[in-house]
Structure 1
Amino acid sequence: MTAPLDVPESASQAAPEAVVAGSDAKAIEGRSLGQIAWRRLRRDRVAMAGAIVIIFLMLVAIFAPLLVSWFGHDPLEYHEELTDIGTQAPIGPWGGITSEFLFGVEPVNGRDIFSRVVYGARISLLIAFLATLLSVVIGTTLGVIAGYFGGWVDTLIGRAMDVFLAFPLLVFALALAGVVPDQAFGLSGDTLRVTLLIFIIGFFNWPYLGRIIRGQTLSLREREFVDAAKSLGARGPYIIFRELLPNLIAPILIYATLLIPSNILFEAALSFLGVGVRPPTPTWGGMLSDAARFYTIPHFMIFPGLAIFITVLAFNLFGDGLRDALDPRGNR
């Protein structure tokens, strides 16, 4: 039989706090879910690069008049002296690209392409953001209501989603945008066209988000914290706004960042087909539509097309990174 080891009482009964203090270690600090997500997002260089590009594009759209006054000319100003009378092409080997016209000039009328691309960012981003906001509001509201209450409410909203998803959106947008007069609902000109595009794109895209939110709500309403709120006497509106919606922020943000680029492409497609914002107001899709007639002058099509490509790519990369950062099953 062996004798017990002679361990000093002070060492065997030392408190954990004393051990930590003796080793000069830092105090353990908890991290919120937002801090964890932010740390993950910062480590994703591709997503951060996309976020930087998005911020840059937003600043370009906001300060478009200032940038044009520094580096360009009025987007509606004609410079016909910079185009050849016979071929109607810009004078010069690079499409008229000079220190005064950074992206060259358009054929026939000689308008500054740089200024029109910068101002086109205003229209495209404005329509995409507001249409996405409209889709998020409608889709989140109806998705939460359908998922939480269930029954005939869920059936009614679900069938409405099926109808909207089966609706030929592009055909309807072409028909509606083509028959609306120049003045309607107290609006006219570009304001009417922008409002119409926001309504068409945003109102008919909400079922995609609505289905996702409905599925998430069906899962969340069976969780313990919802049962606890019900046992304390909480009613439906309280549970929806205080218990469910805070847990739906992550999927809403993720899908919104992925919906914005599709809305940008849809607006560009409508402008390309001639039912978007009417000329001479510059839009990226409208510029591509005009450039299709001058396929021998590539710079006329490259710059607006490149603007659409970079914008959509940046939002997709940031959306993918945000989805990984907010995934609770991801690595800490």
Structure 2
Amino acid sequence: MTAPLDVPESASHAEPEAVAAGAGGTAIQGRSLGQIAWLRLKRDKIAMAGAGVIIFLVLVAICAPIIVKLFGHPPLEFHREMIDQETQIPKDRFGGIGWDFLFGVEPVWGRDIFSRIVYGARVSLLIAFLATLLSVGIGTILGVTAGYFGGWVDTLISRAMDVFLAFPLLVFAIALAGVVPDQAFGLSGDTLRVSLLIFIIGFFNWPYIGRIIRGQTLSLREREFVDAARSLGARGPYIIVRELLPNLMAPILIYATLLIPTNILFEAALSFLGVGVRPPTPTWGGMLADAARIYTVPHFAIFPGLAIFITVLAFNLFGDGLRDALDPRGNR
């Protein structure tokens, strides 16, 4: 028979704080879902690189006047001395690229391509962000309403989604943007064109996110926490705002991030076809449209094309990383 072990009284009556402190003497800290998602996102180097490019582009758009003043020339200023009057192309074989004109000059007019790309970022990002905000807002409200209440409400909103999805959006946008006069609704000039593009792109894109939010709401409304809220007497609006929307933030953020590059391409397509923001206001799509007429000067099309490509790629990479961080089970 072995003798009983001598256990110190302090060990047998350890305080909970001492147990929580662990061997290292430091308390274990809990992490919220947001903190866990941020840790996953930080480990995704490609997504963080995309986020860095997005932040850089936003800063470029905000600080466009300062950047152009330091490194370029006014975007509407002509430099015909750089253009050969016979061929209407830059005299320099490199398209005028140098310290004075970082991306060279445009044929015929001799405007600074670098300055026009910088100012074009303001138009593209402004339209893309506001149009995405409009479509996400409408789609979220109608999607969660249809998914939660069901019945005739769901039927009405779902059929409205089907009607909007049946529209050939590009053809409809060309027709609508083409018939609006230069002055309408108390607006004129670039303000009218930008507002019109935001409305067209944002208002007719809401069914795409609306269907996603409706499907997620149909699943969430059968969960235990929603039944618990109902049993406590909570009404529909309270459950939607306090219970459903917080759990829908992940798909909303993911889809919004992936919708922005689509809207950038859509705005560029409309400007390329001549129904977007009117010249001489610089836009990336408008610069590509001008470059298509003069194919002997490749840099005229390369730089605005690269601007669109890099911007869309950065948003897509960040959107994919954000999806992996917020919904890791969706990749299994």
Please give the TM-score of this superposition, normalised by the length of structure 2: 0.96
Structure 1's 46 and 22: CA in aligned 2 closer, same or farther, altered over 3 A? closer
SS in 2 for 1:288: helix
Q: CA deviation at 1:268?
A: 0.2
For residues 222-278 of structure 1, the C-alpha deviation after alignment (integer angstroms, 9 at most, x for no partner) is: 111111111111111111111111111110000000000000000000000000000
Counterpart in 2 of 1:158? 158
| Equivalent runs, 1:305-316 vs 2, <5 Å | 305-316=305-316
In the TM superposition, residue 166 of structure 1 has moved relative to its aligned partner by 1.4
Aligned-residue offset at 1:328: 5.3
Residue 101 (str. 1) matches residue 83 (str. 2): no
Q: State yes or no: 1:146 paired with 2:172.
A: no
User: Cα distance 1:238–1:105, how it changes in 2: closer, same or farther (>3 A)?
Assistant: same
- For the residue of structure 2 that corresponds to 1:9, the secondary structure is coil
> Which letter does structure 2 place at the counterpart of 1:82?
M
CA distance in 2, matches of 1:13, 1:51: 52
| Structure 2 CA distance for aligned equivalents of residues 237 and 19 of structure 1 | 44
Aligned counterparts, 1:276-287, within 5 A? 276-287=276-287
Return 5+ residue gaps in structure 2 as ranges.
Answer: none
RMSD: 1.6
Q: Measure the CA separation in 2 of the matches of 1:202 and 1:240.
A: 23
* Structure 1 residue 329: Cα displacement: 3.0
The answer to whether the 8 Å contact 2:20/2:28 transfers is no
Q: 1:146-169 CA deviation, whole Å, 9 max, x = no partner?
A: 000000100111011111111100
Retained in 1: the 8 A contact 2:21–2:28? no
In structure 1, the partner of 2:41 is 41
Change (3 A) 1:112 1:237: same
Name the CA distance, whole Å, in 2 between partners of 1:202 and 1:14.
Answer: 64
Matches within 5 A, 1:18-29: 18=18, 23-29=23-29
Question: Structure 1: how far apart are the matches of 2:103 and 2:197?
Answer: 28
Aligned counterparts of 1:20 and 1:198: Cα–Cα separation in 2: 54
Cα distance in 2 for residues equivalent to 1:181 and 1:96: 38
TM-fit CA distance, 1:13? 3.2
2:305 aligns to what SS in structure 1?
helix
Report if the CA contact (8 A) 2:37-2:325 is conserved. yes
> Which of 1, 8, 11 is the matching residue for 1:10?
8
Aligned counterpart, 1:318:
318
What are the within-5 Å matches in structure 2 for residues 103-142 of structure 1?
A: 103-142=103-142
Distance 1:178 1:22 in 2: 70
**CA distance change for structure 1 residues 24 and 90 in 2, over 3 Å: closer, same or farther?**
same
User: Take 1:21 and 1:28, find their aligned partners in 2: how far apart are those partners?
Assistant: 6
Output the CA distance in 1 between the equivalents of 2:330 and 2:307.
33
Give 1:207 deviation, angstroms.
0.5
2:91 maps to 91
What is the one-letter code of the residue matched to 2:4? D
1:91 maps to a residue whose letter is K
Per-residue deviation, 1:205: 0.5
How far off its partner does 1:29 sit?
0.8
CA-to-aligned-CA distance 1:156-202 (integer Å, 9 cap, x gap): 11011111111100010010111110011011111111011000000
Q: Structure 1 residues 224, 85: CA separation in 2 closer, same or farther (over 3 Å shift)?
A: same
Question: What is the deviation of 1:134?
Answer: 0.3
Deviations, residues 260-304 of structure 1 (Å, cap 9, x unaligned): 000000000000000000000000000000000111111000110
- Structure 2: distance between partners of 1:280 and 1:181: 17
SS at match of 1:148: helix
Question: What is the percent sequence identity of the aligned residues?
Answer: 81
Q: Structure 1 residues 20 and 6, CA, compared in 2 at 3 Å: closer, same or farther?
A: farther
Bigger drift between 152-161 and 3-12 goes to 3-12
- Structure 2 Cα separation of the partners of residues 266 and 32 of structure 1: 37
Gap regions ≥5 residues in structure 1: none
**2-side partners of 1:116 and 1:321: how far apart?**
31
After TM superposition, the score normalised by the length of structure 1 is: 0.96
Q: Where does residue 221 of structure 2 map in the other structure? A: 221
